[in-house]
């Protein structure tokens, strides 16, 4: 009988079971069957990981490593990630249900994020200040912020880890990476690459576990200096409350309910592809899903026809098969929640143009769904679906489209499809979102900052600025006078 794989925690340079022996099992979303098990951290393990991270900051092996040498470690990690992208992708697909075509390619591309921050590692600079006092040489330097807790969800693990681990390591921090207890296998396997790359023990630990035994003691730990969190708004509220215990600097990358505005002059093929990418790509399990399609009324029917035609050739099935376009959802609970939301939307007068039901096969499969909404208050326009559900609502004027787009508690992504350059600039400048894609959707790069407004969180990941979030500024005053310091009771 084939033995199911078991994944251990990686703490202080060693693999280990949890201190209290807790083990959880992971289901394959494509079959609904348990396929692996993994160790779960207890509070004692959390303390070991954070203590090791704190110790490593004073260990000459890490403390005295040059910025250039830190960059070389990140370059090495990038190479290992690319070499193992297929293996990590298979694990992620089996564990979360995301398409192998996406998990493997995205993992390979993640190597560029580590290279980007590797290149920035020895470009973290201070400044000499033109101070307004004589006989003073004053300069600033950027120092590592300290122990970083990086918390990532299951839906884009390698990508969302890179946007935290890359700048943290480049800045000289130590990191405790907390993987979601839903589908943690690729993160626990990723620890082997961290070990192989040659990071000193304690610089990076990888753990997972439930809220009570792992997440809460981790985010409350007194030795944590920074928390970088990606996840849902409700969990984020707990993280912020916990950070009041240690005053850790906190950045939040949360959910979204992103609008995609399609004007009547848009290229219909491009707009249809953008809506499909924004709603059915990754089976809709994306924080930037463009799940509020706002369509200029004169082209609504033509655009729906175009989407329906394109969806006829879409293959739904085994996410490990290269021909598959849409795989299962990660959990059965998602399918149930989406069905309940669709039921409420139809009660409100929404019309389901296609899909709307689970597929009659093993696993957590939901048919891609298009909902034509009767009003802006339709439930599918309000709730983050996290599944393959596209909701369309017509508008009549540009002002109305902007108002509808901004009528949300979220503000992560947005999209605009128009052939008029002036309109593209005009509308994008008024959208309250951290990202705006024009005539495209769901594109990312290590060079481009990523983050949102409002309840989509605060702070930015990727880009040059993000590396400064993992540093503290120290100001140094040097008295250059030959005379000793004068009157101690007068502020200089």
* Residues labelled as active-site residues: 253, 287
User: How far is the first Cα of the chain from the last one, in angstroms, to the nearest whole number?
Assistant: 78
Q: Please state the length of the chain.
A: 492
C-alpha distance from residue 81 to each of 127, 196, 205, 367 (Å): 35, 11, 17, 33
According to DSSP H, which parts of 348-469 are helical?
A: 379-382, 398-406, 421-430, 465-468
- Are 150 and 488 contacting, i.e. CB atoms less than 8 angstroms apart? no
Question: Which residues sit opposite 371 in a β-bridge?
Answer: 352, 391
Question: Which residues sit opposite 439 in a β-bridge?
Answer: none
- Are 378 and 390 contacting, i.e. CB atoms less than 8 angstroms apart? no
Strand 471-479 relative to strand 136-144, pairing = antiparallel
Give the Cα separation of 78 and 160 in Å (integer).
Answer: 15
- Are 174 and 203 contacting, i.e. CB atoms less than 8 angstroms apart? yes
Which secondary-structure segment (H or E) carries 11? strand 9-11
- Are 278 and 434 contacting, i.e. CB atoms less than 8 angstroms apart? no
- Are 296 and 392 contacting, i.e. CB atoms less than 8 angstroms apart? no
**Token pair in block for residue 106:** 């995205």
Question: Which residues sit opposite 33 in a β-bridge?
Answer: 28
Question: Which residues sit opposite 228 in a β-bridge?
Answer: 150, 251
Strand locations in 209-357 (E): 226-230, 249-253, 259-262, 292-296, 351-354
């Amino acid at each position: 009988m084939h033995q199911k794989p078991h994944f251990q925690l990686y703490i202080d340079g060693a693999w280990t079971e949890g201190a209290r022996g807790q083990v959880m099992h992971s289901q394959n979303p494509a079959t609904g069957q348990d396929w692996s098990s993994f160790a779960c951290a207890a509070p004692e393990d959390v303390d070991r990981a954070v203590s090791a991270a704190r110790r490593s900051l004073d260990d000459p092996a890490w403390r005295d490593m040059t910025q250039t040498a830190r960059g070389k470690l990140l370059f090495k990690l990038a190479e290992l990630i690319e070499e193992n992208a297929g293996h990590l992708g298979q694990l992620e697909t089996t564990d979360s249900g995301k398409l192998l075509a996406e998990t493997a390619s995205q993992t390979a591309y993640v190597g560029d994020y580590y290279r980007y921050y590797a290149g920035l590692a020895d470009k973290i600079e201070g400044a000499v200040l033109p101070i307004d006092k004589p006989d003073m040489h004053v300069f600033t330097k950027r120092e590592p912020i300290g122990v970083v807790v990086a918390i990532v969800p299951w839906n884009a693990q390698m990508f969302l880890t890179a946007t935290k681990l890359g700048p943290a390591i480049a800045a000289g921090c130590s990191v405790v990476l907390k993987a979601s207890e839903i589908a943690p296998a690729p993160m626990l396997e990723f620890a082997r690459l961290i070990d192989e790359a040659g990071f000193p023990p304690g610089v990076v630990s990888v753990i997972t576990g439930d809220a009570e035994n792992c997440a809460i003691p981790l985010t409350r730990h007194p030795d944590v200096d920074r928390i970088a969190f990606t996840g849902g708004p409700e969990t984020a509220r707990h993280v912020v409350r916990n950070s009041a215990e240690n005053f850790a600097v906190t950045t939040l990358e949360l959910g979204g309910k992103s609008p995609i505005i399609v004007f009547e002059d848009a290229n219909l093929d491009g707009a249809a592809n953008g809506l499909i990418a924004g709603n059915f790509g990754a089976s809709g399990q994306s924080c930037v899903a463009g799940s509020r399609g706002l369509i200029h009324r004169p082209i609504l029917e033509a655009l729906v026809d175009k989407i329906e035609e394109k969806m006829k050739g879409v293959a739904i099935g085994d996410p490990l098969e290269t021909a598959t376009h849409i795989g299962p959802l990660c959990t059965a609970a998602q399918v149930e929640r989406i069905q309940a939301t669709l039921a409420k939307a139809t009660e409100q007068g929404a019309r389901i143009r296609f899909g709307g039901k689970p597929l009659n096969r093993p696993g957590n499969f939901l048919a891609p769904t298009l909902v034509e909404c009767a009003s802006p208050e339709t439930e599918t326009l309000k709730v983050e679906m996290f599944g393959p559900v596209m909701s369309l609502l017509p508008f009549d004027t540009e002002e109305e489209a902007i108002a509808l787009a901004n009528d949300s508690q979220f503000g992560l992504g947005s999209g605009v499809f128009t052939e008029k350059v002036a309109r593209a600039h005009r509308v994008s400048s008024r959208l309250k979102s951290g990202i705006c894609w024009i005539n495209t959707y769901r594109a990312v790069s290590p060079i481009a900052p990523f983050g949102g407004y409002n309840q989509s969180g605060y702070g930015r990941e990727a880009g040059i600025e993000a590396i400064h979030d993992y540093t503290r500024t120290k100001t140094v005053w040097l008295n250059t006078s030959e005379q000793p310091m004068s009157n101690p009771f007068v502020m200089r």
